[in-house]
Structure 1
Amino acid sequence: MEIFKKFSMLLVMVVFSLAMLNCTKEGPAGPAGKDGAAGKDGADGKDGNATCGVCHSDNADAVNLIFAQYELSQHNRGVVFDYTAGRISCGGCHTGDGFREAVKMGVDDPSSVATEAINCKTCHKIHVNYDETDWAMRHEGPVKLRKTGFDFDQKVANTCVRCHQARTYNDVAGADTTFITTGSTTYTRYGPHYATAANVMAMKGLYHFEGPENIPTNNIHGNLEKGCASCHMGSLSTNPSVGGHSFKMTPAQMTQIDECKTCHPTGDFTAGTKAKEIAAMIAEMREIVVEKGWVDLSSAPSEYFAQSKEGNYMTKQQVEATLNYFYISRDRSNGAHNPRYVYAIAKNTLEFLKTQ
């Protein structure tokens, strides 16, 4: 009997619950009401022609000066694209679309494109949002140097560092002698390639020989507010061949660029930096490595390690001294990028070469 009562109560509760659920079910929707009043119009956007005219008009004086400067730059007039167009392995620095793809992928070289000349949208995000954000740099943040893995920060000039650095290569092992190249079977273009400015600025990748000079551990130009751009893209002037997007620098131009003339008011670059001595040491190093048969001047488009001949071996230190010659000569500043460091490297390396 007790069980029957409990069962009856449970049954009543179930029926009651079902009834409540049925009572709370939503009925069919009623007819839609009338539309509400229209909201206020938003602010008018910029006229399309006005947006384009920021860069593409006769009145865009600042941008037109940038165009004129770039026309005179080696990025525009040099052989970097003519010589390497279509080469995927070169495209990360020598083509515009290759550079963009490599930056997007976070790698050094592209995987599929290398067909476009270097232009505005190589370095900037042109025609993305069609406003001032399109002028942002494609690469931001420190750059990991290919040769050493060092994270080098040149502020707004980090886009420059991606390409103006030594490419990677394997260091010579510690054996007493090595055959650098053997005919066509070994790569004669061993070494840092052509653009070594970032390595010289960062003091990474070069080889330190003992000698009369102590190797400095800091760069007098290491704290420039805008890195490379502080000098090479100094304040705009009315002269398209100076600073800005010409990227051009000579001692005479230091008096015209605000970022330089504070320290170099007379344009006298030689004072305190021994630039003429550095240039002379580079020339003397070149004579030695060529006379020794280590460097071939007939290599196109520039000098490289010579193809080895029977018995023409190089020691590890001889290879490294020759690489130092490549680093500081291909920096192409005669020490301006890092005066005291380059002087010490050149002096000690030359003293070693004279003993060979």
Structure 2
Amino acid sequence: MKNLIKLFSIVFLFGAIFMSCEGPEGPAGTNGIDGIDGEDGTNGTATCFVCHDGESIETIQAQFYTSQHALGDIAVDYAGGRGSCAECHSHQGFVEWALTGDVAEDFSAPEAWKCSTCHTLHTEFDETDWAFRADDAITLSDGSTFDDGASNLCANCHQARRESDYYDSATAAYTEDEEFTDDDYADMAAAAAAMEIAWGPAGEVKYDNGVDTIIITFDVPTTHVYISSTHAGPHHGPQANMFAGASAAGGITGSAFTAHAAGCTGCHMGSDANHSFMPQEETCTACHTSGVPEDDMDAVYDRLVALAVELEAVHAIHIDSEWEDGDPLFGYVHPALASIPRAQFEAFWNFMYMVEDRSLSVHNPTFYSDMLDAAEAAFAK
């Protein structure tokens, strides 16, 4: 058996040696026929240039970085971090709301809006990345529907948060005690001493320790309405409601002003999609061939200022001392806690609505005029 194994080993060894021997290489043969060319691949950067095509993206970015959204002038620093406010006051809040329908918690480092706040960037890497995150029809605070195409994206935030009956819903007379302490004490004690608080027919100073605490009782009979917050009003951005002719107090109703059917994007971006969101004059002059009707807007401003003076006189609002005639009223006018007659409250509500709309009637001239007329009538001498 051992001899047989040795024999096979010798045969295998000689076979391996024989196979490793190679003679001289012969002449090269004729090259074979070329194969079929494969399809050209896509350049790796081609998808980037759909958007990042140099001049276009740079122009849009330059415009956007001048907008109030990008500059953080939408209360990003404090409201943007609050879960209840972040939906419309920070990038993170709006994106989370658009994706989930809610904002679950506060943000510790809220950011101002950016391209990807409104657009779903870097998902398909083509033109569809310009799609809006949220452009479905909107249900406004009065229950009506706002549906204006691309402008729906804007209306998600630029809408009233409440109606006037949020404050005017009591069915019986009542009183409300408000306590003011520490930094608020001096101002409220001085206002009470000067009778500059609208506390209603039987309102009074209930308690004052003369140092740091005062309690004021506001009397609210059924003829009055209590302004219960220094942030009272539709809440800073009721443009969609104004455009639709909705949410005025005092039974005033309206409808969209059809001559301004271009909507938010048509007027604030124009045909070139300007991302500064400043109103584009070309949209106005398409109809107003003699130019933007600034005289009409100035006249509305003067009427609002006169109304502000009336409302401050009944202690429904406070006008900042820094305000000067010619300055915008928005940001300088603040509601005051007050129990006032219903007609004055309706004037107050419509005044805050018009001031916070910030269009000086442009968004809906007819509806705006009806509100302004009614508010002035409440103080007619």
TM-score, normalising length: structure 2: 0.67
* RMSD (Å) for aligned C-alpha atoms: 3.0
- CA distance in 2 between counterparts of 1:180 and 1:54 reads 61
Q: 1:228 aligns with which of 249, 264, 268?
A: 264
- Conserved 8 A contact 1:188-1:306: yes
Deviation of the 1:217 alpha carbon? 4.0
Deviation of the 1:174 alpha carbon? 5.3
- Give the stretch that moved more between structures: 70-79 or 47-56: 47-56
Deviation of the 1:171 alpha carbon? 3.8
Residue-by-residue CA offset, 1:277-315 (whole Å, 9 max, x unaligned): 32222111111111111112359965332134xxxx213
Match of 1:248? 278
Q: Structure 1 residues 116 and 232 mapped into 2: Cα distance closer, same or farther (>3 Å)?
A: same
Q: How much identity, in percent, do the aligned residues show?
A: 30
Deviation of the 1:87 alpha carbon? 1.4
Match of 1:89? 84
Q: Structure 1 residues 216 and 72 mapped into 2: Cα distance closer, same or farther (>3 Å)?
A: same
- Once the two structures are superposed, the pairs formed by residues 266-285 of structure 1 within 5 Å of their partners are 266-270=290-294, 274-285=296-307
Q: 1:69 aligns with which of 60, 63, 86?
A: 63
| Long gaps (5+) in structure 1 | 1-38, 237-242
Q: 2:178 aligns with which of 182, 194, 197?
A: 182
Q: Which amino acid aligns with 2:41?
A: D
Q: 1:263 aligns with which of 241, 265, 287?
A: 287
Q: Structure 1 residues 53 and 218 mapped into 2: Cα distance closer, same or farther (>3 Å)?
A: closer
- Once the two structures are superposed, the pairs formed by residues 71-150 of structure 1 within 5 Å of their partners are 71-80=65-74, 81-107=76-102, 110-112=103-105, 114=107, 115-145=110-140, 147-150=141-144
| Long gaps (5+) in structure 2 | 1-35, 181-214, 216-227, 322-329
- Conserved 8 A contact 1:232-1:244: yes
Deviation of the 1:42 alpha carbon? 6.4
- Conserved 8 A contact 1:75-1:118: yes
Q: Which amino acid aligns with 1:192?
A: P
Residue-by-residue CA offset, 1:184-241 (whole Å, 9 max, x unaligned): 595332221111111111111112468xxxx6544134532xx2100101022xxxxx
Structure of greater Rg: 2
- Conserved 8 A contact 1:181-1:307: no
Deviation of the 1:53 alpha carbon? 3.7
Q: How many residues align?
A: 288
Deviation of the 1:317 alpha carbon? 2.9
- CA distance in 1 between counterparts of 2:69 and 2:152 reads 16
Deviation of the 1:128 alpha carbon? 1.3
- CA distance in 2 between counterparts of 1:220 and 1:334 reads 17
- CA distance in 1 between counterparts of 2:100 and 2:145 reads 18
Residue-by-residue CA offset, 1:149-168 (whole Å, 9 max, x unaligned): 22101211111001111112
Q: 2:257 aligns with which of 213, 219, 223?
A: 219
Q: Structure 1 residues 218 and 201 mapped into 2: Cα distance closer, same or farther (>3 Å)?
A: closer
- Once the two structures are superposed, the pairs formed by residues 13-24 of structure 1 within 5 Å of their partners are none
Deviation of the 1:260 alpha carbon? 3.2
Q: Structure 1 residues 86 and 144 mapped into 2: Cα distance closer, same or farther (>3 Å)?
A: same
Match of 1:192? 234
Q: Structure 1 residues 216 and 118 mapped into 2: Cα distance closer, same or farther (>3 Å)?
A: closer
- Give the stretch that moved more between structures: 68-77 or 165-174: 165-174
- Conserved 8 A contact 2:120-2:133: yes
Q: Which amino acid aligns with 1:167?
A: R
The alignment partner of 2:343 has SS state of helix
- CA distance in 2 between counterparts of 1:181 and 1:126 reads 51
In the alignment, is residue 307 of structure 1 matched against residue 334 of structure 2? no
Q: Structure 1 residues 102 and 268 mapped into 2: Cα distance closer, same or farther (>3 Å)?
A: same
Match of 2:23? none
- CA distance in 2 between counterparts of 1:175 and 1:55 reads 58
Residue-by-residue CA offset, 1:134-160 (whole Å, 9 max, x unaligned): 101111221112x21221012111110
- CA distance in 2 between counterparts of 1:120 and 1:181 reads 47
- CA distance in 1 between counterparts of 2:91 and 2:152 reads 16
- CA distance in 1 between counterparts of 2:172 and 2:347 reads 15
Q: Which amino acid aligns with 1:67?
A: Q
Deviation of the 1:268 alpha carbon? 2.9
- CA distance in 2 between counterparts of 1:118 and 1:69 reads 13
- CA distance in 1 between counterparts of 2:352 and 2:299 reads 17
Q: Which amino acid aligns with 1:62?
A: S
- CA distance in 1 between counterparts of 2:320 and 2:259 reads 35
Q: Which amino acid aligns with 1:247?
A: F
The alignment partner of 2:162 has SS state of coil
Q: Which amino acid aligns with 1:304?
A: H
